[in-house]
Structure 1
Amino acid sequence: MFPFQVVHCDETQAARALDDERLLALIRFREPAAPPQDPRSGVIPLPELGGSSTAEVWLSARPVRVGVTHGVSHAGNDAVLFLQCHLDEDTPDALQPLTAMAYRRLFAAARALGYPYLLRVWNYFPAINRECGGLERYRAFCAGRHQALVAELTEFETHLPAACAIGTDEPGLRLYALAGRTAGIQIENPRQTSAFHYPRQYGPRSPSFSRAVLKAWGERHHHLYISGTASIVGHASQHVDLMAQLDETLLNLRALLAQANRLTPEPLRPALLKVYCQPNFDLTALRRRIAQALDADPPTLFLQADICRRELLIEIEGLAMGSAP
């Protein structure tokens, strides 16, 4: 069986979720009026498009253990650990060392608690495309992440977590992560250069993440943690029109699913998606195009955000699942 499930809910249901002893994480997309002082509660400060107020609930199959270790909030069951780390930036040019520190804390907490494998990391910070001290902030973030991962991982290119890095309008570096007691399998996309092999034109250190991570839960159940995926072929951005970018992104997602399906006894299907884009686009048309291309209509959050490259207008990440009879 799967060790957890992820569901979307409204604010009333979100408030009740904090009373559930199986709650791994409650992620809101705006600060509530009275923020709960609970290690399981987090905020990703990105406006939800379409006027809704949705929360993301990570619910364990059994009661969890909750705490704070090395400044990292966490909740875990016998298989997985959900971690949250929020650090303030003292100065705009401090992102590189701050990122390295945040990742070192994630690893320290996860290993201390017996979950040494990072499966998926979500990274959020402001002004992602702004240049500071002669270096774009996203590239500074990549340098800090690379520094930490090289130090922490003995097999760097084969044990990288799935990840996304998204720009917000609120201060602070926010990291959310899922760690396991056992490793997943790194999945790369045949249509794309692996991010960790990008040429130096994209920064002094390559983006250190895998395109996806496949995790088996027993012999019959699989999760695929899908990294932020955009309109990139090889290592180059494609198209200037949003719908053309969306179509290219969906081709990348289909290729990634096909690659992972070679390793599973059952087909993986998208179970949950996040779409990061700018406002003033027809969400109904976007939703319809996604459902047609993926032959699925999973719960999908549309969030207003900045993407790691200025020219990119949309990015999609998510969770796919498969269960054999």
Structure 2
Amino acid sequence: MLGAVGYSDRAGGPVVRDGHPSLTLSMRDDGGPAFTEVWRTTADVTSGRHKGLAYAHDGEYLFCCGRIEETADYVTSTEAAYLAAFELIELLGYPNVVRVWNMVNEINDVDDGGHNVYTQFCRGRAAAFEQRQMSERLIPAATCVGSHGGGVAFYFIACRSARVTNIENPRQTPAYRYPPRYGIKSPSFARATYLSSGSPVRSDYLFVSGTASILGCETVYKGDIERQCATTLDNISVLIGPGNLAKYGIGADLTLQDLDSVKVYVKRDADIPLVRRMCSGAFSGDAEVAYLNVDICRDDLLVEIEGMVTPERLTASGGA
């Protein structure tokens, strides 16, 4: 086991337990069933701790998780946590960050200066990227949504030699080019990331970032959950569709039916039944889909959806 992330009604970790890092996220306060996301490898694993982070690696992949405790200054603390992560990446030799998840308690709460927690987080993250001179186009797929406690919890996957291709959506402005009204520092993520492990045995993945009802850089259909959910699904369809992937040299013929490990984040609990019906019609009946009642990074967004395409699906589609 390379790492485990529990989606539960409490926050815990990061810890190293039974030889692998473990993080528990406070994401369920609706009585829904807890679940654990497990990342596995066929190779031997070495685990450890570094400046509050817990990690494991197998020679090709690194899994790392951390937590930023609740504070009035998320800018400084986020910068420090991300710099520690970059330091670990450099020390262990896993230069290609593939996918990042950030779960932020009270994400839309506003401080005395008029900035919400998400804005503070983005400023701290951007400061770490600037210190490491990390190009915007090297920043991979990511999710940043609310949680029900525990400050900011985050985890990521990096690789040593596999090829990483970051993908944008023609329907949406790249997040790193958002205008200043969306924050002093723009969000830092790509809309999707394609991981190609190369030969002798290819094992490719496509990671889809948390995606919402945004066209260009604007939230659309404010207050209308049905149209926001439909727009979100349309955005993902275009993002992973053959026309867009071909621009990046990826020959996969994908649809929403190819997505798995889907997480659907819904702001209002009362909207979950409708969102569930819409997603059940869009995704494969074989796909694992989890619904989580948490806040979204913009107060006017009601739903956000992420997922991934596994090697099996990519092989069937001609992409691996």
Please state which band the TM-score falls in when normalised by the shorter chain: 0.7 to 0.9
Aligned residue in 2 for 1:255: 238
The question of whether the paired residues in 2 share the 8 Å contact of 1:153 and 1:159 is answered with: no
The question of whether the paired residues in 2 share the 8 Å contact of 1:188 and 1:210 is answered with: yes
C-alpha distance in 2 between matches for 1:139 and 1:34: 24
- One-letter amino acid of the counterpart of residue 27, structure 1: V
The question of whether the paired residues in 1 share the 8 Å contact of 2:143 and 2:209 is answered with: yes
Q: Does 1:266 align with 2:252?
A: yes
Query: Where does 1:271-290 land on structure 2 (aligned, <5 Å)?
Result: 271-277=260-266, 278-283=268-273, 285-290=274-279
Aligned residue in 2 for 1:29: 7
C-alpha distance in 2 between matches for 1:76 and 1:48: 32
TM-score by length of 2: 0.86
C-alpha distance in 1 between matches for 2:276 and 2:40: 26
C-alpha distance in 2 between matches for 1:119 and 1:126: 24
* Structure 2 residues not aligned, in runs of 5+: none
- One-letter amino acid of the counterpart of residue 251, structure 2: P
The question of whether the paired residues in 2 share the 8 Å contact of 1:118 and 1:179 is answered with: yes
Aligned residue in 2 for 1:235: 217
- Matched residue pairs, number? 299
Q: CA deviation at 1:169?
A: 2.1
Query: Where does 1:63-74 land on structure 2 (aligned, <5 Å)?
Result: 63-74=44-55
The question of whether the paired residues in 1 share the 8 Å contact of 2:225 and 2:302 is answered with: yes
Any idea what the Cα deviations from partners look like across 1:124-148, whole Å, max 9, x if unmatched? 1211111113211111111111111
Residue 25 to residue 37, structure 1, CA distance change in 2 (3 Å): closer
C-alpha distance in 2 between matches for 1:33 and 1:124: 11
The question of whether the paired residues in 1 share the 8 Å contact of 2:12 and 2:25 is answered with: no
Residue 68 to residue 133, structure 1, CA distance change in 2 (3 Å): same
Q: Does 1:56 align with 2:37?
A: yes
C-alpha distance in 2 between matches for 1:98 and 1:42: 19
Q: CA deviation at 1:33?
A: 11
Query: Where does 1:100-179 land on structure 2 (aligned, <5 Å)?
Result: 100-134=79-113, 135-154=115-134, 156-179=135-158
Greater CA deviation, 286-295 or 73-82?
Answer: 286-295
What is the SS of the residue equivalent to 1:178? Answer: strand
Greater CA deviation, 41-50 or 129-138?
Answer: 41-50
C-alpha distance in 2 between matches for 1:163 and 1:76: 20
The question of whether the paired residues in 1 share the 8 Å contact of 2:2 and 2:41 is answered with: yes
- One-letter amino acid of the counterpart of residue 166, structure 1: V
Of 275, 292, 303, the residue aligned with 1:314 is 303
Any idea what the Cα deviations from partners look like across 1:150-191, whole Å, max 9, x if unmatched? 22244x121012111111121322110111113511100000
Aligned residue in 1 for 2:175: 195
What is the SS of the residue equivalent to 1:42? Answer: strand
C-alpha distance in 2 between matches for 1:248 and 1:32: 32
Of 198, 223, 226, the residue aligned with 2:205 is 223
TM-score by length of 1: 0.85
What is the SS of the residue equivalent to 2:156? Answer: strand
C-alpha distance in 2 between matches for 1:218 and 1:227: 23
* Structure 1 residues not aligned, in runs of 5+: 1-22
RMSD: 2.3
The question of whether the paired residues in 2 share the 8 Å contact of 1:275 and 1:300 is answered with: yes
Residue 50 to residue 70, structure 1, CA distance change in 2 (3 Å): closer
C-alpha distance in 2 between matches for 1:261 and 1:291: 28
Residue 161 to residue 34, structure 1, CA distance change in 2 (3 Å): closer
Q: Does 1:211 align with 2:191?
A: yes
Of 19, 23, 27, the residue aligned with 1:42 is 23
What is the SS of the residue equivalent to 2:206? Answer: strand
Q: CA deviation at 1:48?
A: 6.8
C-alpha distance in 2 between matches for 1:299 and 1:280: 22
The question of whether the paired residues in 1 share the 8 Å contact of 2:26 and 2:149 is answered with: yes
